[in-house]
Amino acid sequence: MDLLPAQEAAKIYHTNYVRNSRAIGVLWAVFTICFVIITMVVFIQPYWIGDSVNTPQAGYFGLFHYCIGNALTSELICKGSVLDFASIPSPAFRTAMFFVGTSMLLIVGTMVGFSLFFFCNAGNVYKICAWMQLASGVLMVMGCMIYPDGWDSPEVKRMCGQRTDKYTLGNCTVRWAYILAIISILDAMLLALLSFTLGNRQDKLLPDDFELEGAGEDYSGPSHRPTLGVWVEGRGRERPG
């Protein structure tokens, strides 16, 4: 059976390596965009905690916006704005909003950083994005941990009952936006890990001037089989021992 020449085998391996890296990179970019959407939804939607069948009032709370039902008319009265810190019912909610909002801005910055692939080394861009995604995940963790510290505010107690306290939700329940925020933490960590891996894979790609050592020599006999050159940074190619 004829064997592929070493140079041709190296080119095939290199081509497949680059193709697989690019395919994984595209998936990473798609999942990063999905993560951007998730963080925006988590930040904007006021469904972190909400009422249940046992709560004295209907309503729900987000990071900055909340609605509580009127006991007489059952109409929801909504308050809170991201631009008006005084309208946010708890300092803990304001702090959580800051951390989650910064997390969102970082991951949006990662998406904007996609344009750097056209101008900079791909390995370096992946690593920059990885650090931003990791920082985004850490900030989301801090936001999720601090948020329950504000459950003892009078507004939350009015909806959830007097048994409500810090990190004790009383008669209320955790809503989907809070759960989505917790899931997004795992998403951020996985994306950062994948981005670091892609950055390191880019560093391991064969250089453009890789060629068979001794190319041009006559390898005609069985004792003169061509071997792949090994690239050593700063030393050029060396023949394997």
CA distances from 112 to 33, 79, 102, 105, 146 (A): 10, 33, 15, 10, 28
How much of the chain is in helix, strand and coil states, percent to nearest 5? 55, 10, 35
CA distances from 51 to 146, 165, 178 (A): 20, 15, 14
pLDDT on residue 213: 42
pLDDT on residue 7: 63
pLDDT on residue 239: 43
Whether the CB-CB separation of 60 and 51 falls below 8 Å is answered with yes
Apex CA 196: angle with CA 190 and CA 197, to 5°? 90
pLDDT on residue 25: 85
Determine the Cα–Cα distance for residues 141 and 178; give it in Å rounded to an integer: 11
* 74 C-beta neighbours (distance < 10 Å), count: 9
Domain coordinates in residue numbering, the chain: 7-206
pLDDT on residue 145: 97
Work out whether strand 66-69 and strand 59-61 pair parallel, antiparallel, or are unpaired. Answer: antiparallel
In Å, how far from its chain's centre is CA 9? Answer: 37
State the residue for tokens 């800051």.
98
Q: What are phi and psi of 159, to 5 degrees?
A: -90, -40
Q: Which residues of the chain have pLDDT under 50?
A: 1-2, 206, 208-241
Q: DSSP letter for 178, please.
A: H
CATH number of 7-206: 1.20.140.150
67: amino acid identity, one letter:
C
Q: DSSP letter for 49, please.
A: E
pLDDT on residue 154: 92
This prediction's pTM: 0.77
Whether the CB-CB separation of 101 and 116 falls below 8 Å is answered with no
pLDDT on residue 79: 92
| Closest among 185, 183, 181, 163 to 172, alpha carbons compared | 163
Interhelix angle for 122-146 vs 6-44, to 10°? 30
pLDDT on residue 147: 97
Percent of the chain with pLDDT over 90: 52
Determine the Cα–Cα distance for residues 181 and 173; give it in Å rounded to an integer: 15
Whether the CB-CB separation of 185 and 202 falls below 8 Å is answered with no
Token digits of residue 75? 């109409």
pLDDT on residue 117: 84
